[in-house]
Amino acid sequence: MKPTIKLDSVSVEFPIYDPDRSLRRIVMKNGVGGLIRNDSSTGGRTTIQALSNINLEMYPGDSVGLVGPNGAGKSTLLQVLAGGYHPSGGVLETNGTVSSLLTLGVGIDPEETGYENIMTSGLYLGLSRRQMRAIIPDIAEFCELGQYLYMPVRTYSSGMSVRLSFAIATSIRPDILIVDEIIGAGDAKFASKAHNRIEKLMSSANTLVLASHSNDVIRTFCNKALYLDKGKVQFFGDVDEAIDAYEQAG
Amino acid sequence: MNIGNQNAALIFNDLYRSFSIAQLWLALGWRDIRARYRRTVLGPFWTVMSAGVLIFSLGAVYSILWGVDLTGFLPYFSAGFISWSLIVANTNESCGAFLAGQDIIRSYKMPYAIHVLRVLWRNILVFGHSLTIHLLVLLFIGNGLSWTNLLFIPGLLLTVLNCLWVGIFIATVCTRFRDVMQVVASIMQVMFFVTPIFWPADRIASQPIAEFILVTANPLFHMVDVIRQPLIGMMPSTSSYIYLSVSLLVGLMMTIAVAGRFFRRLSYWL
C-alpha cells in the first residue's frame, strides 16, 4: 500500500535573524523547546533545531496521535505536514488533499461580508467557486449566523467570527487532516455542536494526525501514537505503549 | 536531476499551480481595489482623478519648460505616466508581497506566486482605470484615436510578464533582506526622473553617451515605450520588443536561480 504521508529524515531548523547579543553566544541545552545552536555547522548563525531526522510512514486508515511535552516539536511537525514549511532537510511526501485546523481565521478580511469571506476562504482551501457554492448552505446552517452573513465580519462579536472560521475550516473533506488540540468554539451549546462536527470530520478523513495533551482524546480518536521529544521520534506505534513511554519519561 | 533543473521545476510548478487557481488572486486583486476606496463616493475613480490632475497640471508646466507644443506633449506624458505608474507600483508593492501573505504562506499549501500575481493584477486594474484619462487626452487634446493604439496590448503583455519575474525576484530577496525594500524604493524614485517620461526622449539625442545610458540601455524606458508609443498612435521600435524579450528570458533564469533556491526557505524568513 502507498503511504499517504512519508517523511524521509526530515529536519526543521529555524534560523533566528535578529538574536539578542548575549543569546548569540549561548549554546545550551534547554529544559523546554528545541535545541538552540550556534556553531560552525550552522555558519555561525543562531538556529533552533525543532525537528531532527524524522522518519515516518502513515497509511490510509491511520489516525496518529502526537504526544510529548511542550516544545517537543509537535506543532512544528503539524505545520510541516500541513505544507506551511518546507523541511530544511530531508523529504516530505504527501498523497492526497491536505487540510489543517491549526489556526482559525487566517485570510478572513473583516471589511468583507461573511459570505464573501466564505468564498475567499474556499479558494484558499483549493476549491472552485462552484464547489464552494455547493457547500455554502452547510456552512451557513452550521454557524447559525443568519442575516449576519450579509454584514461585514468586523461587526461580528469574537464568538461569531470564531463560529464562522470554524464552520469554514470544517466544511471540506480532505484526505489528510491535521489537527492541533480539538478546540471548542463559542458558548456551551455551540461547543458541543462543534465537537460533534470535528469528530465527524476526523472519522471521515483517510489519514488523521492529531496533537493533544489529553491522553483520553488520543485514546478515543487514534489507532497509532507518536511520542515526540526534543524534536526526535521516541516511539511510534501502539497508542497505549506510546502514552506509557511518555508518562514514564515525564 | 541537477540543482538547476530542480529549481526550474520548482518555479514552473509554482507558476502553473498559481495560474490554475487564478480565481483566487483575481478576486483578491479586486478586493484590494475595493478596500482602498471603501466608503468613498468615487471609488476607484479617485485614482483617475488624482492621475488626471497630475497629468494635466505637470503636462502643461513641462510643455512650457521644454518649449514644445501641448497637443503633442500631453498625450506623450499621459501615456508614459500611466505606464510608469504600473511598473513602479508593481515593483514597490512586490517587495512586501510575501510579507503581506505570511499568514497564508504558513497556514495553507498554496503556491507563492499568487501573492505577486495579486499585486500585479491590482495594478493592472489601476492601469485600466487610468487609461480613461489618456483616452480623454487623446480625444480632446491629441490627434484622436487610431487602430495603432490597440498595439499597446502586446506591449502591455510584454511589460507585465517582465513585471512578474521582477516581482517574484524582488519579493523573495526582500523577504530575506528587509533593507532591499528601501533601496528599491529610492532607486525607483530616481528612475522616474532619469527615464524619459516627463521629458521627450529625443531631447538628449545630441549626447550619445547619455542617450545610451538613459534610453537605449534603460530597461524601464523600453517597458514604458512599448505601451506609450502605440497609445500615442506610433509604432514602438523593434529593438524595444527584442530588448524586453531578452530581458524576460534572462530575468526568468535569474528568478529560477534565486527564487528556486530560496522558496524552500521562504516561510522561515517571514
- Digit-coded pLDDT (tens) for A10-69: 999 888 776 454 444 444 545 566 667 665 555 566 788 889 999 999 999 899 999 998
What pLDDT score was predicted for residue A249?
Answer: 83
What residues in B contact A121, CB-CB < 8 Å? Answer: none
Cell 505637470 -> residue: B58
What residues in B contact A84, CB-CB < 8 Å? Answer: 105-109, 267
Checking if the pLDDT of A138 tops 70, the result is: yes
Closest CA to A84 of A106, A66, A109: A106
What pLDDT score was predicted for residue A31?
Answer: 56
Question: Under DSSP, is residue B118 helix (H, G, I), strand (E, B) or coil?
Answer: helix
Cα A160 to Cα A49, A165, A212, A248, distances in angstroms: 38, 9, 25, 42
Helix (H) / strand (E) element for A192: namely helix A188-204
Tell me the average pLDDT across A70-92: 90
Rounded distance between C-alpha atoms, residue B120 and residue B216, angstroms:
26
User: Is B268 in CB contact (< 8 Å) with chain A?
Assistant: yes
Which grid cell is A22? Answer: 548575549
Q: Identify which of B24, B107, B264 has the shortest CB distance to residue A106.
A: B107
What pLDDT score was predicted for residue A44?
Answer: 62
What pLDDT score was predicted for residue B248?
Answer: 97
Chain B nearest C-alpha distance from A59 (Å): 20
Q: Among all residues of chain A, which has the CA nearest to that of B22?
A: A123
Q: Among all residues of chain B, which has the CA nearest to that of A47?
A: B268
What residues in B contact A103, CB-CB < 8 Å? Answer: 103, 107
What pLDDT score was predicted for residue A23?
Answer: 45
Closest CA to B142 of B134, B150, B130: B134
Checking if the pLDDT of A144 tops 60, the result is: yes
Tell me the average pLDDT across A172-196: 80
What pLDDT score was predicted for residue A26?
Answer: 46
Tens-binned pLDDT, residue by residue, of chain B (270 aa)? 577 788 899 899 999 999 999 999 999 999 999 888 888 888 878 888 999 999 999 999 999 988 888 888 999 999 999 999 999 999 999 999 999 999 889 888 889 999 999 999 999 999 999 999 999 999 888 778 888 899 999 999 999 999 999 999 999 999 989 899 999 999 999 999 999 998 988 888 889 999 898 988 999 999 999 999 999 999 999 999 999 999 999 999 999 999 888 888 888 888
User: Is A191 in CB contact (< 8 Å) with chain B?
Assistant: no
> Which residues 100-119 on chain A approach chain B with CB closer than 8 angstroms?
100, 102-103, 106-107, 109, 111-112, 119
Question: Would you say B109 and A78 are in contact if contact means Cβ atoms under 8 Å apart?
Answer: no
Which grid cell is B264? Answer: 524552500
Domain count, chain B: 1
Chain B nearest C-alpha distance from A196 (Å): 24
Chain A nearest C-alpha distance from B249 (Å): 28
What pLDDT score was predicted for residue A22?
Answer: 45
What pLDDT score was predicted for residue A106?
Answer: 85
Asked if the Cβ–Cβ distance from A107 to B106 is below 8 Å, we say: no
CA atoms within a 13 Å half-sphere pointing along the CA-CB vector of A63 = 16
Q: Which residues pair with A210 in a beta bridge?
A: A65, A179
User: Is A91 in CB contact (< 8 Å) with chain B?
Assistant: no
User: Is B24 in CB contact (< 8 Å) with chain A?
Assistant: yes
Rounded distance between C-alpha atoms, residue B231 and residue B228, angstroms:
5
What residues in B contact A120, CB-CB < 8 Å? Answer: 24, 27-28, 31
Q: Is B167 exposed, middle or buried (0-12, 13-18, 19+ CB in 10 A)?
A: buried
User: Is B180 in CB contact (< 8 Å) with chain A?
Assistant: no
What pLDDT score was predicted for residue A183?
Answer: 65
Tell me the average pLDDT across A148-169: 90
Question: Which range of residues forms the domain containing residue B79?
Answer: 3-269
Q: Identify which of B24, B35, B107 has the shortest CB distance to residue A84.
A: B107
What pLDDT score was predicted for residue A172?
Answer: 85
- B175-181: long-range contacts (C-beta < 8 A, 24 or more apart)? B175/B98, B175/B99, B175/B266, B175/B269, B175/B270, B176/B262, B176/B265, B176/B269, B180/B95, B181/B95, B181/B96
Q: Identify which of B106, B264, B265 has the shortest CB distance to residue A84.
A: B106
Asked if the Cβ–Cβ distance from B31 to A85 is below 8 Å, we say: no
